[in-house]
Amino acid sequence: MLLLLGVLISSASGHTLYAEFSDELHPNTQADFWIAYGHGGSADTELVSLPVARMISPSEETTQLALEPYEDGLKGTATLKQAGCYILDMQMESTLFNPSWFGASGEISLVQKYGRALMPVASGQGYDWSSGVGLEIVPETDPYELRSGDQFKARTLWNGEPVSGSLSAIVTRLPEDVLMVQHAQETELSTESIDGSISINTTRPGLWVLSFEATLDESGTWDATSDDAGEHYKKGDRQEYDQIAPTAYLSFWVKK
């Protein structure tokens, strides 16, 4: 039973909430993008909707996005009116994880998934935007013209404060790939950060996805927003949890 529990946790942590989009974006145009939750290059778990799906412009204007199903993920179009870094900001529905459901002991976790994508248009202005809410990876390196071999730095914050956790990175698409064509993931690194700081060497070009997992000793109650697939709770049920287990994902292009 403990082995089964380990497999379930490992499988869930291997998924990423990421966005695919062109590596060449221009002002006064529209850009297509595809959002998926999977192992990189594919949607392994169907996304029906996102409670948060918005675009932050370089001047910090917020636009709520209209998304439609595509290949078990969600696709949409953004209007790029000005130069600067547009930020695709998204969040999945929270869920609850209780080890006792699988015959094991442990803390009950409120699981949260946050995702962002950096979409620079002729400039990186505004790349370091922060909402100060939830778990977020905030870049300290301008993504515009970021090239293979460059250092990429960022800081991870929980409600605006540095947080420790584990970091991993994959390259989900190569520059020569056609958008929307699935590509196998390539794991680049896996490490720990005691203060939320991130500094990585971009070893090769492609669409990178950083993942940062944290555990917060914050207990509370949560009202389920949908029925649990395992039928452990239903929408509207109030559930208690011992800790919060958030993960943040950041998608960005590294050029040749």
**Domains contained in the chain, number:** 1
- Look at the pTM and tell me if it is higher than 0.85: yes
Q: Which run of H or E residues covers position 6?
A: helix 2-13
Query: Tokens standing for 254?
Result: 């590294």
Give pLDDT tens digits along the chain (256 positions).
333 334 344 334 468 999 999 999 999 999 999 999 986 656 778 899 999 999 999 999 999 999 999 989 999 999 999 999 999 999 999 999 999 999 999 999 999 999 999 999 999 999 999 999 999 999 999 999 899 999 999 999 999 999 999 999 998 877 666 554 455 555 678 899 999 999 999 999 999 999 999 999 999 999 999 999 889 999 999 999 999 999 999 999 999 9
Find the domain containing 36 and state its range: 2-254
Computed on alpha carbons and rounded to an integer, the radius of gyration of the chain in Å comes to: 18
CA distances from residue 17 to 85, 137, 149 in whole angstroms, order as listed:
20, 13, 25
DSSP annotation of 57? -
